Amino acid sequence: MKTILVIGLAIAGAIACGAQGCAQWFPDEKLTIQRTAYTGNELRIDGYYYHFPTVPGGTIIQFFYRNGIRLTGRYSGTTNLDSVDMRIPEANSDLQHDKSGWGVFLISGNSIWYEKWDTSVGGGLPVTKSFGHVLNDTTFLRMYSIANGKKFIDNEIWHFRKFSLKPDSTNRWIQ
């Protein structure tokens, strides 16, 4: 009987979300960093920064833009940066339809803070906040991140790769 009730509630919720839109019930979290133009030279922005996570594998990249916007992408199954470079233009059109991965950043001295909307399996999109240190103009250390109210010690080194075909930073979520 409990199983039937749970399934019935799940179906009713799905129908209600489809008819009315879930955003009114589960709004996306708000970014807390104000978008500010980046006029510094602490980090190069004529390409992307990459990191190879051990789990789930692949490559994570981040683009930083002069207008204070940042964009994250994940490329599963490869740590070959030439392959990642070839896949970026293919993914470019999808970026304008997906809010997750978009965010803002701020650099002050040798500190970097950034936020982005993350993926969600239900409800609104959560915001992940990260903090790190700029080591030089092509490398930074992400020390920790905060996601879903939990702090994670990351200690991830991100390296720069020059790339001229950066996706456009224009999006409908960050003004």
Per-residue pLDDT of the chain in tens (175 residues, 90 and over written 9): 444 433 433 443 444 444 344 545 778 999 999 999 999 999 999 999 999 987 777 899 999 999 999 999 888 888 889 999 988 887 766 777 789 889 999 999 999 999 999 887 777 899 999 999 999 999 999 999 998 889 998 999 999 999 999 998 988 899 8
Q: Helix (H, G, I), strand (E, B), or coil: what is residue 48?
A: strand
Q: Which has the closest alpha carbon to 57: 70, 74, 43?
A: 74
How many angstroms separate the CA atoms of 132 and 40, rounded? Answer: 16
Q: Which tokens in the block code for residue 83?
A: 């392959």
